[in-house]
Structure 1
Amino acid sequence: MISTSPRATSVAGEPDAMSAREVLDLARSQQAAEDAAAARKLEAAARWADLHPPQSRHHAASFTLDGIEHEEAIAGDGCPTVAEFCIAELGTVLGISTTAAKRLIGHALELRHRLPRLWAAVHAGCVPAWRARLVAEATIHATPALTPASVAWIDAQVTPFAAKVGPAQLDRLVAEAIARQHPAEPVDPDDPHPACPDGRHVTIDADQVGFGGTTSVAAQLDLADALDLDHALQTGAAELKALGSTESLGARRAMALGHLARRQLALDLASATRLAADTDLAGQPTSLPAARALEFHLHFSAGLAGGLEIDHLGRMDEGQRLMVLDLVKSWCGDSHTKITVKPVIDLNTELTAPGYQPTGRQREQIALRDRTCVFPWCSQPARRCDLDHTVPFDHHAACDDPAQPGATTTSNLGALCRRHHRLKTHGRWQVSQPASGVFRWTSPHGHTYRRDSTGTTRVDSDPDPPAPPNRSSRAA
């Protein structure tokens, strides 16, 4: 809370008589300290890569196995590669995902080896590390790939201005510098179909779901197709308004796009008032197939006090977002929506399969229990992950052998994305499951982490993590 008195109160409870100038000086010094720390973190990432060069294939066997550690090229041409499995350990220490750690190391190597002027400016305190990383990200992923000479030219052009312009201007400056290193090839006027990269796409970001059940759609269309789509959306929005919709124009255009996806407009063309001519060969009225086929995994709390009462706010597995019950009702109440209700799965029940392969019910139970990959800080949805035996399954033991160390049972299974599944199998990480859904990971350098349905916790000083609280049943 901000005090309105002349003298604010500090965190320790003592009067804080700092003037406005002193507060600004404090903020400025803290920002400088933050920038310096970010520069040192880049330096640490580069040195970590130096300590983990790819293992030489000349000292290995004459054959390789799928899934074993390989060298990882994470920066541009001219930068050293690194051993793949080292990336995860740096990420866990920093409390970030393996993907974010890979990006950090890649930016550090790109700056140090291909953008040396910018690298020096960062360590001199002239350019914030986050600005330099924007440039590194652009040069690493430029298409076509930039040569070291081209990047050196960009380095000379961008560094003097990197700290003087805003992020948007910096993006334009880097894009212009890259474009100058890739001049467009001359177009043959006699060629009726000149070669050019096809950038058309439609991308639906279903992993990022808003509180109101919305998601973003981005597209690059042929101009004629774009104009046709705009006309269809404008027409659909006008029809919705004529039918009584009070939504905004933007909302009605979005609704019209959904109707187009279901190959129908606002009217229910399969109702009882359909045309008599719309019949099959036997003279029976035909019906349209389900126009909406949605598959979501939603969880709502329910109580039986005075009748069944369902909480108005639930959780959706897709995107790990909150979901309003009324919105789900509106989806299910729309015309031609096929609804499938799956049975409830008790997450506290121990399910066992007789062999190596988990059953479908086990897969659903583990996906509901773990939610994401169980490696520290990984957020890959569990439904996209492999099911891993925490204690490896012994294929030489009989399926019903009581001495089978790695039985296919709930308390010995966990969701692991393919990257971290390979790391567990071929790396030097150790993992145990002291309680069902609780995973204890130890890195090659001895750092320990506890991973459960609530997230990741560093437990280097906690040798015996407590079991998780009792979990209620979840609907599939």
Structure 2
Amino acid sequence: MTSTAQDSDLEVVDLAGASVTGLLEQAAECEAVLREAAVHQLRIAYEWAIAHPVVDAAETAHGPVLPSVLEAPETLGGEGTPAVAAFTAEPLAVACGIAPSSATALLADSLDLHHRLPVLWHQTQAGFVPAWKARRVAARTRDLSLDAALWVDRHTAGRVGSLSLGALDRLIAEAAARVDGEPLAEKDKRSRSEWDVQLKHRDPREGGATSEIHAVGDTLDLTRFHDVVRAEAEALGALGDGDTFEVRKAKALGVIADAQARLDLTTLLDEETTPEEQAAVRRRLIERRDARVRLYLHASLADVAAGVPGAVGTVEGLGPVTLDQIKEWMGRARVTIQPVLHVASEDTWSVDRHDPPRRMAEQVVLRDSTCVFPWCSHPSRHADLDHIEPYEDPDEGGPPREDGSGQTRPDNLAPLCRRHHRAKTTGSWTYQRTTPGTYLWTGPAGVTALVTPTGTITLPTC
């Protein structure tokens, strides 16, 4: 039965007239349905996983494949779980209307619960543990050995529903120490592989002028750096900065970056350093000082030229930012503003070569901001540019086209992240462009989805 606006209005009226007790009863019923649905989704995910076992890399349902790396099996769960065929997650992602990475996590959690945490899985199916909490245990124990995961399963039997997340994490750490017995030095060595500093831009709806930085590294180094940040924040306050201490700490990062860029590190070179090594260090210093921040700004040229107060533009990867903020950034750092091309006439030119010229690549990136696979959010600026109709080398019998145009043209190019480029190359997924920025995908089991400039739509199974 199709729901109508009138039906929805009647539902709202019914709820508005319900008693307080009635509303609570309906809320409880809704929660029970959601819990059971989450458990059932895990059951489906497991059945989907075991229905896609590892196959011979040389033969698939589509016949012989290209190099086996394209069809390499994937081990999604922890030790003791079966591997699955490559790209098993993608059809499930389209069917559920979720990102491929979310479908991968769903499959991994279902495999771990069945094979590594059987007691927890039984209690989850019985309704004693919510699915989200069981999945957290599965994810946090994935790096443990099978014996350690089973130890966690035994020692949390009947308790997961009441344990806090912190208590669960402590139990998992205890399992690693008791069962896996990994020496502390080995843990430190493994942790070192996770050291990184990552910059994350926040939800564009919250504004594009605020980002986050996350660092994982040596405890002493990070503690010392944190002390320097606090000291700079205190100095800013002493100089009259009226912002809160927390805001001054964030501003102190810019002060430290400016000071670092001005340092002459050549004074640290010892006397045995060769002239060539000294020259190399100086070149790196010059490159660092000349480094520019490149912003791709989408804004009205009239607003930029006239300096309209409060005018807003959009920066790729950041979201909406006021032009006043852009000007303030330009006063503090070397910023390159990349002009945005108009893409209305994108289909009017082509070249007779495989790699598109820079201007054409830029047109495609501006037209499609992310990988065009359903629900994939990988930025197009860091993706491959795929030929929708495969490129055929003219030296090996390929066209040029009958109308004289080349095979490489904007209407035959689309950005795909490396994973989904491989999925398309193997033939397990195919797609075609219907209109500019809109792509129709077809995958295993007749799964189809339409990717549009405003989002992805799952279509009825063929």
Same fold (TM over 0.5): yes
- Which residue number corresponds to residue 203 of structure 1? 197
State the SS of the aligned residue for 2:135. helix
Find the partner of 1:239 among 231, 235, 239: 235
- Which residue number corresponds to residue 178 of structure 2? 180
Q: 1:170 offset after TM fit, Å?
A: 2.9
Identify unmatched segments of 5+ residues in structure 1. Answer: 1-8, 188-193, 267-286, 464-476
1:450·1:458 contact (CA, 8 Å) conserved in 2? yes
Distance 1:28 1:288, change over 3 A: closer
TM-score, with length taken from structure 1: 0.79
381-390 or 451-460, which deviates more = 451-460
Q: Does 1:53 align with 2:50?
A: no
State the SS of the aligned residue for 1:161. coil
Q: Does 1:372 align with 2:370?
A: yes
For residues 34-113 of structure 1, the aligned pairs below 5 Å read: 34-57=34-57, 65-113=67-115
Distance 1:354 1:298, change over 3 A: same
RMSD over aligned CA atoms reads 3.3
Give the Cα separation in 1 of the matches to 2:165 and 2:84. Answer: 30
How many residues are paired up?
421
Give the Cα separation in 2 of the matches to 1:363 and 1:164. Answer: 54
2:309·2:324 contact (CA, 8 Å) conserved in 1? no
Q: 1:237 offset after TM fit, Å?
A: 2.0
- Which residue number corresponds to residue 420 of structure 1? 420
What letter corresponds to residue 155 of structure 2 in structure 1? Q
Q: Does 1:229 align with 2:228?
A: no
Q: 1:12 offset after TM fit, Å?
A: 4.8
Distance 1:399 1:164, change over 3 A: same
TM-score, with length taken from structure 2: 0.81
- Which residue number corresponds to residue 266 of structure 2? none
Q: Does 1:252 align with 2:231?
A: no
Distance 1:223 1:101, change over 3 A: closer
State the SS of the aligned residue for 2:336. coil
78-87 or 233-242, which deviates more = 233-242
Find the partner of 1:322 among 320, 323, 327: 320
State the SS of the aligned residue for 2:211. coil
Distance 1:430 1:260, change over 3 A: same
Distance 1:96 1:223, change over 3 A: closer
1:371·1:382 contact (CA, 8 Å) conserved in 2? yes
- Which residue number corresponds to residue 388 of structure 2? 390
1:69·1:83 contact (CA, 8 Å) conserved in 2? yes
Give the Cα separation in 2 of the matches to 1:215 and 1:62. Answer: 46
- Which residue number corresponds to residue 169 of structure 1? 167
Q: 1:99 offset after TM fit, Å?
A: 1.2
Distance 1:113 1:290, change over 3 A: same
1:157·1:177 contact (CA, 8 Å) conserved in 2? no
Identical positions, percent: 31
Give the Cα separation in 2 of the matches to 1:230 and 1:409. Answer: 50
- Which residue number corresponds to residue 282 of structure 2? none
2:94·2:458 contact (CA, 8 Å) conserved in 1? no
1:391·1:406 contact (CA, 8 Å) conserved in 2? no
1:199·1:220 contact (CA, 8 Å) conserved in 2? no
State the SS of the aligned residue for 1:11. helix
- Which residue number corresponds to residue 381 of structure 1? 379
Distance 1:183 1:58, change over 3 A: same
Identify unmatched segments of 5+ residues in structure 2. Answer: 1-8, 263-285
Distance 1:291 1:44, change over 3 A: same
- Which residue number corresponds to residue 268 of structure 2? none
What letter corresponds to residue 204 of structure 1 in structure 2? Q
Q: Deviations over 1:433-452 (max 9, x none)?
A: 12222111122222322112
